[in-house]
Amino acid sequence: MKTYVTKSERQTIKLGKKLAKSFFAGLTIVLNGELGAGKTAITKGFAKGLGVRQAVTSPTFTIMNDYKGKKLPLYHFDMYRIEDSGEAYEFGLTEYFIKSKNTGIVPGVSVIEWAQNIADLIPKSNLITIDIKKLDGDLRQIEVEESL
């Protein structure tokens, strides 16, 4: 596990961009942390690193936003409003985790906020779990655990 501390949203975005260098198709990233921790902020960095030109916005109301990246597509999920994994399964969530092309989904990187609502659907491998903790002011402690 690696631990980072950032002092601003800008630094968190920069860290996300750096981490994205090692991302690959079929990777799932779970983002844990309270409201306003910086889950969407770090995803902005992932998008930069994957070569997404569009601005990343929170998928709170859409459940998922997808972005074409020069390197890989980014699928950004927010499960905050999803009550259980049955609902997420019906949305087709798990099809995004698969590398095969027969789903019609271009294999990419899935980033999931509020994944605890659908814990049983999260893959056990090709997974990076990131815990973001709010410290004093704009300080954030960011722990990155890889299960590849």
Ligand X SMILES: Nc1ncnc2c1ncn2[C@@H]1O[C@H](COP(=O)(O)OP(=O)(O)OP(=O)(O)O)[C@@H](O)[C@H]1O
Q: Which residues bind Mg ion (CB under 5 A)?
A: 39-40, 58
The pair of structure tokens assigned to 9 is 């949203």
State in angstroms the smallest separation of the CB of 82 from ligand X: 13
Sole window of 4-12, 16-24, 88-96, 101-109 interacting with ligand X (rule: CB under 6 A): 4-12
User: Within 13 Å of residue 109, how many CA atoms lie on the same side as its CB?
Assistant: 28
Residue 126, phi then psi, degrees to nearest 5: 50, 45
Q: How far apart are CA 28 and CA 24, in angstroms?
A: 9
Which of the listed partners (Mg ion, ligand X, none) does 93 bind, with a CB threshold of 5 to 8 Å by partner kind?
A: none
Residue 141, phi then psi, degrees to nearest 5: -100, 125
State in angstroms the smallest separation of the CB of 87 from ligand X: 18
Provide CB contacts within 8 A for 53, sequence distance 6+. Answer: 70
Q: Which is nearer to ligand X, 26 or 77 (CB)?
A: 77
Q: How far apart are CA 71 and CA 34, in angstroms?
A: 30
Of 138, 141, 143, 144, the one binding ligand X (CB under 6 A) is 138
Q: Of residues 53-92, which lie at the interface with ligand X (CB under 6 A)?
A: 58
Residues in the site for ligand X, rule: CB under 6 A?
A: 6-9, 11-12, 33, 35-41, 58, 113, 138, 140
